[in-house]
Amino acid sequence: MSRGAVIDTTDDDYMMEEGAQGLNEIVVSANRFEQQRKDVPQQTEIITAASMAFDNQQTSGDVMQNTGNILVQKSQLGGGSPVIRGFETNKVLLVVDGVRMNNAIYRAGHLQNIVTLDNAVMERIEILYGPGSVMYGSDALGGVMHFFTKNPKFSTDGTTAIHGSAFARYSTADAEKTGHVDLSIGGGKLASLTSFTYSDFDDLVQGSQRKDKYPDFGKRTFFVERQGDIDVAVANDDVDKQIGSGYSQYDIFQKFVYRASDAISHTLNLQFSTSSDVPRYDRLTQGTFQSPTYAEWYYGPQKRLMAAYRLGMNRGTGLLGNGGVTLAYQSIEESRHDRRFNSVNLNHRIEKLDIKS
In a domain, 11, yes or no: no
In a domain, 307, yes or no: yes
CB 294 within 8 A of CB 340: yes
Claim to verify: residue 109 and residue 43 sit in the same structural domain: yes
Claim to verify: residue 235 and residue 130 sit in the same structural domain: no
Last residue in a domain, options 150, 169, 192:
150
Q: How many domains does the chain have?
A: 2
- Which DSSP symbol is given to 32? S
Claim to verify: residue 223 and residue 108 sit in the same structural domain: no
Last residue in a domain, options 121, 150, 179:
150
Written as tens digits, the pLDDT of the chain (357 aa) is 444 554 454 555 666 666 655 555 665 655 555 666 666 667 888 999 999 999 999 999 999 999 999 999 998 999 999 999 899 888 999 999 999 998 878 877 788 899 999 999 999 999 999 888 778 888 888 999 999 999 999 999 989 999 999 999 999 999 999 999 999 999 999 999 999 999 999 999 999 999 999 999 999 999 999 999 999 999 999 999 999 999 999 999 999 999 999 889 999 999 999 999 999 999 999 999 999 999 999 999 999 999 999 999 887 665 556 788 999 999 999 999 999 999 999 999 999 999 999
Claim to verify: residue 31 and residue 134 sit in the same structural domain: yes
Q: Residue 200: give the domain boundaries.
A: 151-357
In a domain, 18, yes or no: no
CB 222 within 8 A of CB 184: no
Claim to verify: residue 226 and residue 308 sit in the same structural domain: yes
Cα dist from 91 to 101, 132, 133, 142, 199, whole Å: 12, 10, 10, 6, 29
Claim to verify: residue 211 and residue 338 sit in the same structural domain: yes
Claim to verify: residue 121 and residue 173 sit in the same structural domain: no
Claim to verify: residue 159 and residue 229 sit in the same structural domain: yes
Last residue in a domain, options 120, 150, 180:
150
In a domain, 8, yes or no: no
Q: Which residues are within 8 A (CB) of 159 and not within 5 positions of it... i.e. 6 or more apart?
A: none
In a domain, 42, yes or no: yes
